[in-house]
Amino acid sequence: MKYSYRTQGTCSQKIDFEIEDGKLHNVVFTAGCNGNLKAIGRLVEGKDAAEIAKLLRGNTCGFKSTSCADQLSRAIEKALAE
């Protein structure tokens, strides 16, 4: 399934991704730190979605209470709950 998630509190504005057989695919962030977010997409490609959500949950960016990685975890959790 394809998912699109509007982020909150981060420089990135949206995360698009797919989950097939519990695995993450094609994670793409819109806006934000281009190189770092491309790297996250590559690092999580084909990995278990639930494990990635657990791993990234609570990660912060500077003084913010969230981060793009944390927003990805929230997006995954929401998608898995559907």
What digits encode the pLDDT tens for the residues 68-79?
999 999 999 999
Specify the pairing of strand 23-30 against strand 2-6: unpaired
Give 38's pLDDT tier (boundaries 50, 70, 90): very high
Q: How many distinct structural domains can be found in the chain?
A: 1
Mean pLDDT of 17-27: 98
pLDDT in tens, 49-68: 999 999 999 999 999 999 99
Residues 6+ positions from 28 with CB-CB distance below 8 Å:
15, 16, 17, 41
